[in-house]
Amino acid sequence: MGYIKRLAVCLLVGLVAAATLQRIIYRVFWELGDRFQPAPVIGIAGMALVILATVIFSRRVAAVSEGALGGIMALDFAMFGWQKLFREQGQIPLGRLDEPFSSFSGENLTWAFFHHSFAFFCVIGIIQIVGACLLLFRRTRLLGAIFLLPVLLNIILLNIFYGFDAGDLVHALILLAGLLYLILLHYRALATFFFRRVDGSLGNVVLAALVIVAPLVLVASFGSPDRNPQLTGKYRVEDLSVNEVRSVARSCQDSVLTTVYFDLGNDVVLEFNSLQRRWIGRYRLDRVSGALEASWRYPVPAKDPLVGRLDRVQPGEWRIIGMLGKDSLRARLVKE
C-alpha cells in the first residue's frame, strides 16, 4: 500500500472514530444537563483522529485499520441498535401526534411513522446489533459490512429526502465510507464471484431483462392514477351559496362546506368545517363540458350525490354550480 493510500485509510479510521466519539460525548453531556456544555467535543474528536492516524500508520496499516475500523463501527451500530430497543430513538411528543399531518416536518413524519410500531423499530435495532457483532470478527466482517449496507443506505436516503439535520447525514456518510472500505478490500473475490463469465450468460441476461421489462409494460398499461392533473389538489371554498343563500362558517359548530379535495384515482372529499365532518367518494368529470358527478362511500348516511358543472376561472381557481342532493350549490374553489 502506497503512502497516499495509507494516509487515506488512516484518515478514514480517524473520521469514523471521531464521529462515534463525538456522538457519545454529546449524549453524555446532554444527559448530565444544560450546565455541562459540549464545547470540548470537537477538540476531543480531532485529537482522536490524529492519535489514531498516528498509531496505525505503519507497514501493516491495512490489517490494523481493518480491525480498528470494524471494532469502532461495531460500537456505533450497536449503540444505535440498543437505543432503539430502549426507546432512545424514534420518539415524538404525544401532543404533536394530534396535530395536522401536513404540519409535520420531514423528520417528524419519519419519527411518527416509526413511533407507530415499536416492534418494527426493535427489529431494525436487532438488525443493527447483529451486524455490529459480525463486524467484530475477521471471518464475518465482510458479511457484516454487506449485511449493514442496505440499512445504512436507507438511513442516508431518509436523511437526504426527509430533511434531517446535516450532522446526522455527515455521520451516516462517514459510516458508509467505512463500510465501503471493508467491502472493497475483497473487491477481486467479489468481482470474480458475481461477474465471471459462465456458459449461457447471454441467455440469462435476456431472461432477466424480460422479467424486469414485462412488469413495466403491464404497469404502464394501467395509465396514470392522476386522471385529471389540472384539477388534482386541495381547494378552499369561497363565496358559497346554498339554495341561493350565502353560507359562511362562523364557529366550529357550523356544518358548512369549507374545503374540497380532488385526489388521485378520481377520489373526492368534501369537508364541512371539521376533520370529523367529511364526505369521501369518487367523481367523474367530462373535460369538454365540465360536467361533474360524485357519489359517496363514507359516511354511510351520505347518500346525496353531487351533480353539477365545473368552470375554470383561471389557473388554480374553479367555479362550481350544481346540486348536492336537494340543495343547490354555487361556490368558487381556490387552490391552496
Reading the chain (336 residues) residue by residue, the pLDDT tens digits are: 666 777 777 778 878 887 888 787 777 666 555 555 555 555 566 666 666 666 555 556 666 778 888 999 999 999 999 999 998 888 888 888 888 888 899 999 999 999 889 999 999 999 999 999 999 999 999 999 999 999 999 999 999 999 998 888 989 999 999 999 999 999 989 988 887 766 556 777 788 888 889 988 988 888 888 989 999 999 999 999 999 999 998 888 889 999 999 999 899 999 999 988 999 999 999 989 999 999 999 987 667 899 999 999 999 999 999 999 899 999 999 999
From CA 156, how far away is CA 7, in angstroms rounded? 26
Nearest to 298 by CA among 268, 323, 328: 268
Distance (Å, whole) CA 97 – CA 108: 10
Q: How far apart are CA 66 and CA 141, in angstroms?
A: 9
User: Would you state the pLDDT for residue 58?
Assistant: 55
CA-CA distances (angstroms) from residue 58 to 14, 16, 45, 53, 241?
15, 19, 22, 10, 83
The whole-model pTM stands at 0.81
Say what the pLDDT of residue 286 is. 94
Q: What is the pLDDT of residue 333?
A: 97
The closest of 173, 85, 83, 179 to 135, measured between CA atoms, is 179
Do 259 and 237 meet the contact criterion of CB atoms below 8 Å apart? yes
Q: How far apart are CA 74 and CA 68, in angstroms?
A: 10
Question: What are the boundaries of each domain within the chain?
Answer: 3-195, 233-335
pLDDT at 66: 84
Cα–Cα dist 204/10, whole Å:
42
Cα distance between residue 179 and residue 168, in whole Å: 17
In whole angstroms, give the CA distance from residue 134 to residue 111. 28
CATH class as words, domain 233-335 = mainly beta
Q: What is the DSSP string of 71-113?
A: HHHHHHHHHHHHHHHTT-SS---HHHHTS-GGG--HHHHHHHH
